[in-house]
Amino acid sequence: MKFFVDTAEVDDIRELQETGLLDGVTTNPSLIAKSGRDFKQVIAEICEIVDGPVSAEVAATDVDGMIAEGEHLAKIATNVVIKIPLTPAGLKACKHFTNKGIKTNVTLCFSANQALLAAKVGATYISPFVGRLDDINLNGMDLIADIRAIYDNYDFDTQILVASIRSINQVTESALIGADVATIPPAIIHKMYNHPLTAKGLEAFVKDWASTGQTIL
């Protein structure tokens, strides 16, 4: 499973890039607003740090506007992926980008039927939002399993990009289901390293090694 980071904070992306774990980045208008920075400048900076796909979301909600903005954003760097909302207009714009060979990430997916529509217009990625479904007492991970089954039934190439991740367990479940990508907030990625037995075990090894008085080099 590929790991994308879900943030518009360039410093966090640079730090994660150095871990060798990062396969791509997703942003959205709320994350850009939170950064307080110029959208296109941020996308250009991220694309210089990361070789993998970097999702940049259109702001327009009409087909022509989404196409114009998406084509503009796609010129920033070759690894820009155009993020489009899952609406009738968004899917028309997606089909346009598919035909032009421009990669797309169809976002704000909350149902299996929506994911089916996105695959039929050739979306590169579908972004089901698991955390926001859990927020309204539905089961986000059930949706991921349903989309996996549907895409496998028909050999759709669209990659399942699990979004709105709020816990490390959702990352595990995504991998168990066979999602293609998880886009994860930086704080959750950092939590994935942790286990109390790792910390406790290392503390004991360091202490016991010191007691031997040996050095390796």
Task: Look up residue 199 and give its two tokens.
Answer: 């910390």
- The reply to whether 124 sits near ligand E4P by the rule CB under 6 A is no
Task: For ligand E4P, give the closer residue by CB, 8 or 63.
Answer: 8
Backbone angles phi, psi at 62, to 5 degrees: -100, 155
Q: How far is the CB of 189 from ligand E4P (least distance, A)?
A: 13
Helical packing angle, 88-100 and 63-74, nearest 10°: 40
What mask of x and - would describe binding to ligand E4P in positions 140 to 179, judged by CB under 6 A? -----------------------xx---------------
Long-range CB pairs of 208-212, under 8 A, 24+ apart, other chains included: none
Task: For ligand E4P, give the closer residue by CB, 110 or 156.
Answer: 110
Task: For ligand E4P, give the closer residue by CB, 58 or 163.
Answer: 163
Which residues in 62-91 contact ligand E4P (CB under 6 A)? none
Provide the Cα torsion 54, 59, 62, 65; round to 10°.
Answer: -80
Task: Say whether 83 is catalytic.
Answer: yes
Among 24, 28, 74, 158, binds ligand E4P (CB under 6 A): 28
| Calpha distance 57→81 (Å, rounded) | 8
Indicate which residue of 34, 75, 83, 92 is catalytic: 83
| Calpha distance 150→173 (Å, rounded) | 18
Among 26, 114, 159, 170, binds ligand E4P (CB under 6 A): 26
